[in-house]
A and B are shown apart, each in its own frame.
Chain A
Amino acid sequence: MSAEGRDRLLALGAPIALVALWEAAVRSGLLDARFFPPPSLVVGTFWRLAADGTLLQHTWASVVRVLVGFAIGSAAGLAAGLMLGTIRSLRVALEPVISALYVIPKVAILPLVMLIFGLGEASKIAIVAIATFFIAVINTTAAVVGVEPIFLEAGRAFGARRLQMFAHIILPGALPAIFTGLRLALGTALIVIIAAEFVAAKEGIGYFIWFAWNTLRPEAMFAGFIVIGALGMLSYAAIRWIGGRLMPWQEDVASPEGRSEHA
């Protein structure tokens, strides 16, 4: 067998083996079925909840909040980061403030956000936007500052003016690191929305999992985990795809081993 074929077999086979092991462990009583329902039951529950539209309804609610919040937060973060990156005095003045606010876990300010934005959709979107904003602004600033000086020199040597420098050198030069930031931000947005939905929602995949706990249905909780995992993978693939379209010059934009995180 070729090395590639063996790799593929390992990559596919290992998870299947793990699931089989899990099933066997539950059936033989090694794992407590009250906490770890057997995969067969989880899959059955998942299909039932998917078929009757329950999962779709909750997933959709979460996805909308994440997308709207992410769009607002990343757009604001991107704009602010581009300004901070290019205007030195602004950066010197605001970077300590932003760094200080960044380290506060966004879930900690959820009560305040709910106080301000109420119990409706606005507070959920706001908390996602805030979390996204900080990651986007910090990474975008670092990305702009990190543009190789030789490219700036080359731009100036060929007579690029301020706006030309920005459009032809700084923005494309910073784009790979900006995308790394957006990938991180989207991952964080998912974490934050699940946490927010645990405590302050009547729908959404976070609410769904919390409700499953309240009603002692671990198999439904696991169905929720599957959805979250799928959302994570899907968002990762989406960012990667968009990055590839925007940056055709990159061999692989979002490869986790390829670039540093700049955070």
Chain B
Amino acid sequence: MKNREKMIALTAFIMVALFAGAAYYFKNKKAEEQRLILENNRKRLVKDYSPVYGNTNAPVEIVEFLDPECESCKKFYPFVKKILNNFNGKVKLVVRYAPFHKNSIFALKILEAARNQNKYWETMTTLFEMQPQWGDHHNPKPMLIWNYLPDLGLDISQIKIDMESDEIMNRINTDIEDGKFLNVKKTPTFFVNGRPLQEFGYRQLFDLVKKTVEELD
């Protein structure tokens, strides 16, 4: 009987160890592939039209692939702003789009149109703040977005014209293509000076930014 128990324990141990070993190997291989892709395709990380928040000359650049309808992006947004403040002027944020939800593209078109009226970041903040209302996954009501815009001082009739422009759609499509190319499968996805955030989390993002700032100092 004792031998049987040993056999079971040993088998369970070997199986879990195999799993962990294979996982470790696979993750490392993936990370290396991702590193090479980024190294050879830095141009696909940032576009000249990409919105920049903070000091445009900052040496450290966070590229965030986000989706206004994504809940994690909403939660990360104030945190990312806090990081920017924390390293006053040394860090900037570049926004790229990864619309993974039903009404993301609709919201992004409005957001981009608001940019023409110099209200980009205000609109972004409002979209995230009001997300539980308009972007509820079980019962999305994207038309509610129109109600928020007058408070921001936006000219809605102008937005409705601008949001249908080819330029805006091209930007969104280019972001989607670049995201696919760079293996962006989840939102938000962060890159700090071309380095991907290996492990997802607030602390991890802060640490990666801090490390990058310190390397440059």
* Bound pair (A, B): no
Residues of A that sit less than 8 Å from B by CB: none
Residues of B that sit less than 8 Å from A by CB: none
